[in-house]
Amino acid sequence: MSDAFEQAVTWANDDPEGFWRAAAGLVDWITPFEQVLDRSRDPLVGWFTGGEVNTAANCLDRHVAAGRGDMVALYHDSPVTESRAAITYAELLDRVARFAGALADLGVRKGDRVIIYMPMVAEAAVAMLACARLGAIHSVVFGGFASRELAARIDDARPRVILSASCGIEPGRVVPYKPLLDEAIAQADHKPDHVVILERPQARAALVEGRDLDWMELESRGIPVDPVPVASTDPLYILYTSGTTGQPKGIVRDNGGHMVALAWSMRNIYGVESGETFWAASDIGWVVGHSYIVYGPLLAGASSVMFEGKPVGTPDAATYWRLIDRYKVKVMFTAPTALRAIKQQDPDCNGLKNFDISALKALYVAGERGDPDTINWAHRHVGVPVIDHWWQTETGWPITANCLGLGLYPVKVGSPGRAVPGYRVEVVNESGVPQPPGTIGSIVVRLPLPPGCLPTLWGNDQAFIKKYLTDFPGYYKTGDAGYMDDEGYLFVMARTDDIINVAGHRLSTGALEEVIGSHPDVAECAVFGVTDSLKGQVPVGLLVLKAGVDRAEAEIVEEVIAQVRREIGPVAAFRKAAVVRRLPKTRSGKILRATMQAQANGQPYKIPATIDDPAILDEIRATLLALGFDGVLIPEG
């Protein structure tokens, strides 16, 4: 193991307040904090209490003041509009200060909420930073979200202003946002004072007189404003977790602890310093986009890449390699599903041969389990460490990771590494008893959580305590299941509700997917449990084949079933599998296993608001019917 990593772990565990006091030196404080960790309201805690900061000033003003204004802050690359831009720190500061002034003219003040419902354009980052500059609380809602879901977020956050665009652009289609937004406002009880619309040439929006304003016109007349001091514990943003229905679950992020954690992570986890380029291939609608497209890289003084496109199809499966070459990306962050999409389209990675990616030092993956077949494929072709790491919307930054900035330790494929300094991760049984190495259980984090993690849910402390802190007293419940080996490497195998019980044997769907994914013809797969009258549950597997595979599908399915029998054993009772064209996913790339499971079990379900392509569920339904699952397979609503 790396000496620097081991020393950091020891320091953070033995003297957490000293460790985080030192890390706080990475942030400029307007008023120094009085207390590192305030536990007077346990289990609700506050980090760096008494301190005053401004997140936008730390992201922009201090770098310009230090003479780095001509460095690129944000590369915007949009193959869907055939446009590119390189925005310097000085240019971004000017735009943010002016737009903050324009929002202030609309009445936005410290503590007010602003909803941002936008595509992957540079103005989305301007909007987030302008809110932070004013001390307003932004809530980014993924552009194109259904009106019903957006309305629920409007009523929960009660924004003074909503910022949006006329449309988003997907490969081959334009998605008008304004009709969705107008319908959401009509459905919501709360009405914003103003809506600001960024007009894009691909679709014009009809503005409502007296309420709606043109973005560029508003920004052009904005008078730059200075950063507003806020308390370290004041909220920076609310991020509603994907797929919520009914009462939304708004993850709160504070200002001070968030900055300290992200600044520390950029340097120590990702090994990225000022002047280097970092690319998180995500969307600002997800936590990755908040942490590592906008805030993390700018806190570090690095150049961040904002990409409006897809890993394949915009224009081809070499897109990632093209951008790494173009911007000399040092560290990239993506989801395993993106790599599987590339692997499916270009199994031999021929597209890489046309580009120079020698600047790349590491490729990090997260968002779902990094299956060994995908990790090994990427490492073989890319030639740099491919590092799975694990975290959640709730934590805002990695819980476990192999830390490039502290010196990499040996990778164990299938594991997202050891606990990052500051986190104390354990695996426990249903009674909260720690489990021995190799035994699957619930993954928990000992309290208090480190800085940057959620301090509560928006407007609902008791719901936060009940959901995350009650089932395992003294711990934060992650909702994930897995095991830890005798060297402290964690193996995250599934969500706790994805552990299936086959005739009394607890099996991980992740372990089954690992075996299936190793078949040479399989690009990706999904396994979920279906109710069985004899065994309780049995696993079902759906497979997507690599491009160019022309063998009989039935033959491949037979081989996969035999492979699971050999490597997992007859106990898995794995007998039902089929080939599908695509798997249903969220827009962030997570496979909708629970939805398919509900289909197969004949249980009521709703089409998730985050789904990438609802039509694919019809194909899955037909496949499940062909496999003999004949329950009620139509969605509610």
pLDDT digits (tens, 9 = 90+) for 92-121: 999 999 999 999 999 999 999 999 999 999
**Is 388:415 a contact under the CB 8 Å cutoff?**
yes
Partners of 303 in beta bridges: 277
Number of H helices, E strands in the chain: 20, 29
pLDDT digits (tens, 9 = 90+) for 3-55: 999 999 999 999 999 999 999 999 999 999 999 999 999 999 999 999 999 99
Band of pLDDT at residue 496, cut at 50, 70 and 90: low
Q: Residue 206: how many CB atoms within 10 A of its CB?
A: 11
Mean pLDDT score of the chain, rounded to an integer? 93
| DSSP character string of 365-422 | E-SS---HHHHHHHHHHH-S-EEE-B--TTTSS-SB---GGG-PPPP-TT---SBPTT
**Does the pLDDT at position 615 exceed 50?**
yes
Given this model, what pLDDT does residue 497 score? 63
Q: How far apart are CA 311 and CA 346, in angstroms?
A: 11
Band of pLDDT at residue 503, cut at 50, 70 and 90: low
Band of pLDDT at residue 244, cut at 50, 70 and 90: very low
Band of pLDDT at residue 631, cut at 50, 70 and 90: low
Distance from first CA to last CA of the chain, Å, rounded? 53
**Is 335:284 a contact under the CB 8 Å cutoff?**
no
Cα–Cα nearest to 492, from 391, 341, 355, 623: 391
- C-alpha 391 chain-centroid distance: 8
Q: How far apart are CA 391 and CA 377, in angstroms?
A: 23
**Does the pLDDT at position 246 exceed 80?**
no
The CATH number given to 514-626 is 3.30.300.30
pLDDT digits (tens, 9 = 90+) for 165-222: 999 998 888 999 999 999 999 999 999 999 999 999 999 999 999 999 999 999 999 9
**Does the pLDDT at position 243 exceed 50?**
no
Given this model, what pLDDT does residue 532 score? 79
Given this model, what pLDDT does residue 368 score? 80
Q: How far apart are CA 121 and CA 119, in angstroms?
A: 6
Given this model, what pLDDT does residue 637 score? 46
**Does the pLDDT at position 557 exceed 60?**
yes
Query: Which amino acid is located at 152 in the chain?
Result: A
Q: How far apart are CA 236 and CA 299, in angstroms?
A: 14
pLDDT digits (tens, 9 = 90+) for 443-489: 999 999 999 999 999 999 999 999 999 999 999 999 998 999 999 99
The sign one gets for the Cα dihedral 387, 391, 392, 396 is: negative
- Please state the pTM of the whole predicted model: 0.85
pLDDT digits (tens, 9 = 90+) for 338-360: 998 899 999 999 999 999 999 99
Structure tokens at 68: 């780095």
Given this model, what pLDDT does residue 49 score? 98
**Is 378:406 a contact under the CB 8 Å cutoff?**
no
Question: What is the domain class of 3-309+389-483 according to CATH?
Answer: alpha beta
**Is 29:35 a contact under the CB 8 Å cutoff?**
no
**Is 392:478 a contact under the CB 8 Å cutoff?**
yes
Q: How far apart are CA 177 and CA 174, in angstroms?
A: 9
- Residues 611-634 have a mean pLDDT of 81
Q: Residue 415: how many CB atoms within 10 A of its CB?
A: 25
The sign one gets for the Cα dihedral 454, 455, 460, 461 is: positive
**What dihedral do alpha carbons 99, 101, 103, 109 form, nearest 10°?**
140
CB under 8 Å to 616, separation ≥6 — which residues? Answer: 581, 582, 583, 584
Kindly list the strands in the beta sheet with 277-280, ordered across the sheet, starting from the edge strand earlier in the chain.
Answer: 83-88, 72-78, 303-307, 277-280, 331-334, 362-365, 386-388
Long-range pairs of 263-266 with CB within 8 A, sequence gap ≥ 24? 263/23, 263/26, 263/27, 263/58, 263/296, 263/299, 263/300, 264/23, 264/26, 265/296, 265/397, 265/398, 265/420, 266/296, 266/297, 266/299, 266/300, 266/302
What percent of the chain is modeled with pLDDT above 90?
Answer: 78
**Is 476:468 a contact under the CB 8 Å cutoff?**
yes
pLDDT digits (tens, 9 = 90+) for 148-170: 889 999 999 999 999 999 999 98
Cα–Cα nearest to 213, from 285, 111, 107, 122: 107
Partners of 447 in beta bridges: none
**Would you list the domain boundaries of the chain?**
3-309+389-483, 514-626
Determine the length of the chain: 637
Given this model, what pLDDT does residue 487 score? 97
Higher pLDDT, 370 or 454: 454
Higher pLDDT, 588 or 580: 580
Band of pLDDT at residue 247, cut at 50, 70 and 90: low
Instruction: Please state at what angle helix 336-345 crosses helix 372-382, rounded to 10 degrees.
Output: 70
Given this model, what pLDDT does residue 566 score? 83
Lowest mean pLDDT among 133-147, 314-328, 416-430, 562-576: 562-576
Given this model, what pLDDT does residue 632 score? 45
